[in-house]
Amino acid sequence: MIAAERGTIWRPYTQHGSADPPLFIEKAEGSTLYAKDGRRIFDAISSWWVNIHGHSHPKIAAAVAEQARTLDQVIFASCTHEPAERLADALVRAAPKGLDRVFFSDDGSTAVEAAVKLAVSFWRRRGEGRRTLIALENAYHGDTFGAMSVSAPSAFTADYAGMLFDVKRVPWPAPGREKESLDTLEKLLRSERRRAAAMIVEPLVMGASGMLMYGAASLKAMREACARHGVLFIADEVMTGFGRTGTLFACGQAGISPDILCLSKGITGGFLPLGATLAMEEVFRAFASEDRSRTFFHGHSYTGNPLSCAAAVASLSLFEEESTLSRIERIAGIHKRELKRFIRRKEVADARQTGTIAAVELRVPDAGYLSELGPKLSRFYLSRGVLLRPLGNVVYILPPYCSTEAELVRAYDAIEESLKIVGL
């Protein structure tokens, strides 16, 4: 079956000329993946950061099954339904204050795509031709063309150089470099006065670039700078949302409300694809008119899919029913304790954490995303029954909230052992 899969399926981010055969997973429950060959594997990265409550959660499964018996799909441009209405209300109540409009899409990249298009179209509806987007260096926002444009140039975007729109970039506010970043942003906002449409950031943690972390004070300062200059502020919380940074949304730690908020990944608890772009009422009002030419011309076939919305409603309800924020606090405490074992290791350049996200940066030169280090480490961790997918020389743990202390310690043991096994 694996041979057949390798001959027909084209997997994401995979070099089929050299990659190991994929794991054949028969089922998953909680934080455990059950492989066809009998292995039980701790899913320490929540299967690409989506399974926040764990796999096959019975409440979410029941909600999806019940919804499937009632309404599976309906065109959302002309219709609405209870799961979408309930989810929109729940998201507005949970999100930072003022984000009162919800636009549904398919995933994180399309949530960002909608946000970028909204920002540019907003200014056209206001009679201003603002088209300049501002982003942080090292950013990653997705793989569709707008999302690639606001992401940093990398191996992910190299093939499309020249096809992406220009973006002004600001150094990310690394610890010790906050002033440089904010000064650059301030100068840029002045120079791009009446041309800048929006700034987009990953709040507190920049995921795919290596779990780069910065403080809430810098996030607040960037938001305030954009507000002073009348520039829209987009928070891409596709990865950081739904508790990952220790609070329901990372923006909450800075006490800010963005003009536009992008959500996905954990929104359905990992059950089904869904994206959401929340916007301030002012943004929505720029499009609302009897003039049909002022419409926001964007959408997806599966926008507001009832099954996905039902899963998301159930997932959000678990935050109260299972005291999820307490689970998040417990995991954050375990991370803080276990990371101490790496602080003075000569093989480790940095060990950092924000909420349930922990990262160990290995002191390996020229070990970027395309190096063989990542696959070599992944192979070793699987041999220890732990699924980890390093970003170059950065090994991160981003577990389901149901993970036990023993499972987390086992992951840290594997990382510590790998420092010797892989020859670091």
Question: Catalytic residue positions?
Answer: 13, 140, 236, 265
Q: Please state, in angstroms and rounded to a whole number, the distance separating the CA atoms of residues 239 and 289.
A: 34
Residues in CB range of 180: below 8 A, 6 or more apart: 171
| Helix, strand, or coil (residue 343) | coil
Q: How far apart are CA 240 and CA 205, in angstroms?
A: 7
Q: Collapsing DSSP states into helix, strand and coil, what is residue 366? A: coil
Per-position b or e across 37-76, b if 16+ CB within 10 A of its CB:
eeeebbbbbbeebbbbbbbbbebbeebbeebeeeeeeeeb
Query: What backbone phi and psi angles, to 5 degrees, belong to 348?
Result: -110, 125
Cβ contact 178:218 at 8 Å: yes
Q: Cα dihedral sign for 5, 10, 16, 19?
A: negative
In 3D space, the residue among 173, 137, 171, 134 whose CA is nearest the CA of residue 154 turns out to be: 137
Q: Where are the beta strands (DSSP E) in 30-141?
A: 32-35, 40-43, 99-105, 132-136
Q: Which residues are bridge partners to 396 per DSSP?
A: 359
